[in-house]
Amino acid sequence: MQSSTIKDYLLLHFIVLIWGFTAILGLLISLPALELVFYRTLIASLGVTLLLFWRKKPLLIPTPQMWKVLGTGFLIALHWILFFWSARVSTASVCLAGMATTSLWTAFVEPFFNRTKIKWYEVALGLMVISGLIVIFKFETGYWLGMAMALGSAFLAACFSVINGRLTQRHSPYQITFYEMAGACLFTLLFMPIYAEFFTEGKGIQWAWVGNDWFWLLILGGICTVYAFSVSVELMKRLTVFSINLTINLEPVYGIVLAVLIFGESEKMTPEFYLGTLIILVSVLTYPVLNYWNKRRKAVRTLG
């Protein structure tokens, strides 16, 4: 049992490492952000479909629910477009530093959706994140656009994660992933005329793959999306939600380290950038600990 648990934790860290690699893939692939997201979601949709048939799971869900899940896919598409765009206009490290705020955005978005009170320590940690961002912006003014896009992407990630928390109570995660990926793919197609007119500087849509783009796209859609998701779902059956969320918060750390190792000098930032990122990461890693402590305290009061 002990060795099995250790194996699960190692596998979870491997999955988080894969997710941390996605911003780097966005730089390795020559396609612009929108086209990249289109191919990623198309590959992921096909991959999840094959997975559902292989596991003999039903694909169809009731039509009213289907539209809700497809709509959530629109949010995911916009989240990924901003995510990859952020890495392009700045660096992978800046993008991941902004994405580190996702769990704290969730701390504010979730009470809004569920109509519950915001906890005092969530406000304190939120202010701590803002202080970290101020440190970064003060010394890395050249990357303000990339950081702004990353913060917008993190906010959207928080929104659809809260929505997914409700959807998973009615349907299997595999069904939800299929319709969300299909919805995200549909959003990119619907947005392309506007994108081609105002954001491509007259170059139009870039459909063609260059060099090893096809390989990196298969890694992005197959391993970073379908494989990582399916394994994380299996791990949820054996590991606690607290331990999973705590580990996922390490994604920016893994990503920034990988970016520096792979891209070298182009990813190296000022010491103040890493100080600001450290402040953000400390607040992010502190949040689940305080949340767990608060729930334990309430449980003890209830039993008392």
Distance CA(89)–CA(149), nearest Å, equals 9
pLDDT of 153 reads 93
Chain-centre distance of CA 12, in angstroms? 15
Q: What's the pLDDT tens digit per position in 94-106? A: 888 888 777 778 7
pLDDT of 185 reads 94
pLDDT of 190 reads 93
Dihedral sign (CA 153, 155, 156, 161): positive
Residues 6+ apart with CB under 8 A from 227: 18
- Single-letter code of the amino acid located at 234: E
The two three-digit tokens of residue 24, written as one number: 């780097």
Q: What's the pLDDT tens digit per position in 110-141? A: 777 777 777 777 777 777 877 887 777 676 66
pLDDT of 303 reads 62
**Which SS3 state, helix, strand or coil, does residue 105 take?**
helix
pLDDT of 272 reads 80
Distance CA(164)–CA(169), nearest Å, equals 9
pLDDT of 46 reads 92
**Class of residue 223 by CB neighbours under 10 A (exposed 0-12, middle 13-18, buried 19+):** middle
Q: 72-102 as b/e, with b when 16 or more CB fall inside 10 Å?
A: bbbbbbbbbbbbbbbbbbbbbbbbbbbbbbb
Low-confidence stretches of the chain (pLDDT beneath 50): 1
Contact 192, 35 (CB under 8 A): no
pLDDT of 9 reads 81
Q: Give backbone dihedrals phi and psi of 40, rounded to 5 degrees, phi first.
A: -60, -45
Distance CA(271)–CA(287), nearest Å, equals 25
pLDDT of 1 reads 47
